[in-house]
Amino acid sequence: MQQESVIEIEEIATVLKLLGDKTRLTMVKLLDSHDCCVCEFVEMFKTSQPAISQHVRKLKDKGIVKESRRGQWIIYSLNKESEYYPFLKNVLKSLPDQGYRLDELEKQGLRISCCD
């Protein structure tokens, strides 16, 4: 059985602060089922590309997400090696599925471009 190390309450508070933003929380919930690139988030959240980049950077700085380049795109995914991952999964399971957002992109033909 895997031993889950105890995380300080202060550390958890900083993770919760990151999740306490509608955009980032939705991003993370989406990433729990599909990897996404920045351009998809931009379409989805109807906000600017720099705004999205800054959100994902915060998540990356805390080790919650990781990136991998695929050509000109950068694909973000949940970092399953993070010490926060088990905690994160536990939070995410209470959230309503956000897959419909990807479905909407698909309908507009905005998903095929980079990620499949």
User: Is residue 12 within the footprint of DNA (CB under 7 A)?
Assistant: no
Which residues in 61-90 contact DNA (CB under 7 A)?
A: 67, 69, 71-74
Q: Are the CB atoms for 101 and 44 separated by under 8 Å?
A: yes
* 16 sits near DNA (criterion: CB under 7 A): no
Binding-site partner at residue 95 among its own copies, DNA, none, CB < 5 to 8 Å by type: its own copies
Strand 65-70 to 73-78 pairing: antiparallel
Give the DSSP letter of residue 69. Answer: E
Residues 6+ positions from 29 with CB-CB distance below 8 Å: 92, 95, 97, 98
Q: Give the separation between CA 15 and CA 10, rounded to whole angstroms.
A: 9
By CB under 7 A, name the binding residues for DNA.
17, 21, 23, 37-39, 42, 47-58, 67, 69, 71-74, 113-114
Binding stretches for its own copies (CB under 8 A)? 6-10, 12-22, 25-26, 29, 86-87, 90-91, 94-96, 98
